[in-house]
Each structure stands twice: as structure tokens, then as C-alpha cells.
Amino acid sequence: MERVVSIPAGHLEIGATPSPLLGSDGAAAVISLLDDGRVVVLTGAGLSTDSGIPDYRGPGSPPRTPMTIAEFRSGPAARQRYWARSHLGWSRMRTAEPNGGHHALARLQAAGVATTIITQNVDGLHQAAGSDPVVDLHGRLDTVVCLDCGARSARAALQRRLAELNPGFGGDDDPGAPTISVNPDGDAEVDDTSGFVVAPCLRCGGILKPDVVFFGENVPPAKVRRSYAAVEDAGAMLVAGSSLTVMSGLRFVKRAAARGIPVVIVNRGATRGDDLADLVVDAGCTPTLQVLADRLA
């Protein structure tokens, strides 16, 4: 669309202080779209990369094939593989801390500039940074749900049970465990999961699953409705760190564009929503959001 202006990395100048982000004309354009407030924010995995959590689709990301819900439900062997990998991954994911981008968005919310944060991430880092309200579109890794009775419990408690059932598997209490690659949804790249013991639900003995939306599952309707309501009440929309490859996030950008709500996308690399945006900023989330918070909050 002709109204789209793509802004590559350059220099953002606010007052007399240049920052290595956008051109000064681009900065003025971004700020003019967001300066009226009521900014609804949609975030993706690219926001958490500076916290040490990898991105599925960012530039340079290796190809990954996450487990689908159909595979998870297919039988004990698939769940054994999932929980063994997740046990290792959680040991490293749980130590992730909010980065400057998370804190910048929390500042924008506290100042009344940003309203609701809709996140595709499952790491809970927005809340750790102090953001409120947050819609965890795809759920949270720090909660576990039973597929049979629906009981929810803390992931930390399950992690302790898994460690007791699988001593020496390389969990929290094994500082000598080899370095492994951890995916954005918290599972580790490890091949040998034979012999891993899966913990059942303490209430009914049923199947435990992290309280996140697997590939092939639908986002809970209540979260979708809440997110649409936040978009329709917004004066502008800011997308940070999402390629918008999946419809779960792209639909909100489509709704904003259909309502004539300005859309600004900050992401490294192209996104599926670029043609719907008023401005596309090809830059890192952390420095860009920090400058915007300094200017607007």
C-alpha cells in the first residue's frame, strides 16, 4: 500500500541527542502516530530475544518444528519426549529477566500512553516488568493444566516432581548439565529422552500439559474477544517483535487497519502485516521502545 513507509535502521534524533535507531524524519512520523495515547501493543518473540529467549522466525533463526497438540495427544511416547525436553528447557527459561523493551512498555502503560499489551509470548516477562493489563494470548509456561480434570497448578511444583522422578537428567539441580539450545516455547533440543518418567496430575492422575496454546490449538475465545475490544478502543496500534506469520496475532492488525487505526510495526525483517501498516520500522525492539518511552512517557 502506498501509505506504508519502511524505515530502516539509522539515527533517531530527539532534541539534540541522536540515538542509533531511526532517521529524524522517521522518528517524528512514529511519534506523531503514537503521541495521542491509547496505544494497544501486540508483542512477539522478537521482544524477548534480548532476554536470552530465541525467536522462531527472526533473521538467522534456525528452523524448528514445535510439537503440535495432535502429536502431544497421540500417546505416552510423544508426551515423554515433550516433558523431557521441556524439563531441561524450563531449567534455563525460568531465569530469564525482562529486558529494556519490556520495561519501556511498562513505562508507557504507567504513563497512560499504552493501554493493553497483547502478547504472543508465553514467558511472563511483561508482568515481571510491571505491565498491566496484559493478555497472554498463547498462555503462560509457568502454569500447568490437566487435560482430564482441568486443574491448574504451578510449573515450579511440577518441575520439582520431575526432578525427583528423573534424578540426574540435567534439570535445576544439575549445574554440570551440558549447554543446550532452548526454543521460544521452553523445550530444549535434545534427542535421547528414553527412560524419562512423566508426572501425572495429582488430582486425577490425568495428562498434564503446559497452559499454553500448542500449534493446532485455538486461542481461548475470551482472550480473542478481550483483544479485539482493546484494539477497537485504541487510538493507535504498536506491533513489537512479531513477524505476524500466524493469524492469532495478524487478525488484530487486520482489525486495526480495517477500523482506520494507525499501525506501527517494529521488527527486524519483514512481517506478514507490513502492507497493513502505516509505518514499518526495521530495527531492534529494545532500543526503539526505550527511545519511544523516553519521548512519550
Going from N- to C-terminal start, the domains of the chain cover 5-53+97-139+218-296, 69-95+142-212
Q: Which of 87, 103, 126, 138 is catalytic?
A: 138
pLDDT of 152 > 50? The answer is yes
| CATH fold group of domain 5-53+97-139+218-296 | Rossmann fold (3.40.50)
* pLDDT of 189: 53
* pLDDT of 183: 53
| DSSP code at position 188 | B
172-212 pLDDT, tens digit each? 444 444 444 455 454 555 566 788 999 999 999 999 999 99
233 vs 177 pLDDT, higher one:
233
175 vs 114 pLDDT, higher one:
114
Q: Which of 24-28, 202-206, 227-231, 256-260 has the lowest mean pLDDT?
A: 24-28
H-run or E-run covering 227 = helix 221-232
* Three-state SS at 253: helix
Banded pLDDT at 140 (limits 50, 70, 90): very high
Is 138 a catalytic site residue?
A: yes
d(CA 27, CA 182): 35
* Three-state SS at 163: helix
d(CA 243, CA 240): 9
Q: Which of 52-66, 134-148, 229-243 has the lowest mean pLDDT?
A: 52-66
* pLDDT of 110: 97
158 vs 66 pLDDT, higher one:
158
52-85 pLDDT, tens digit each? 888 755 555 455 678 899 999 999 999 999 999 8
Peptide bond into 133 cis (omega under 30): yes
Taking alpha carbons only, the member of 147, 47, 102 closest to residue 293 is: 102
Sheet holding 208-212, edge to edge: 152-154, 139-146, 208-212
Grid cell 521452553 in the structure block, residue = 186
- Name residue 49's amino acid: T
* pLDDT of 220: 96
Mean pLDDT for the stretch of residues 120-132: 97
Grid cell locating 183: 526454543
**Dihedral sign computed on CA atoms, order 228, 229, 233, 237:** negative
d(CA 296, CA 236): 14
Taking alpha carbons only, the member of 192, 244, 249, 209 closest to residue 68 is: 209
Grid cell locating 147: 487435560
H-type helices in 35-124, by residue range?
A: 69-73, 76-93, 100-110
What's the pTM? Answer: 0.86
15-38 pLDDT, tens digit each? 333 344 454 455 677 888 898 899
Summarize the chain as % helix, strand, coil (round to 5). Answer: 35, 20, 45
H-run or E-run covering 262 = none
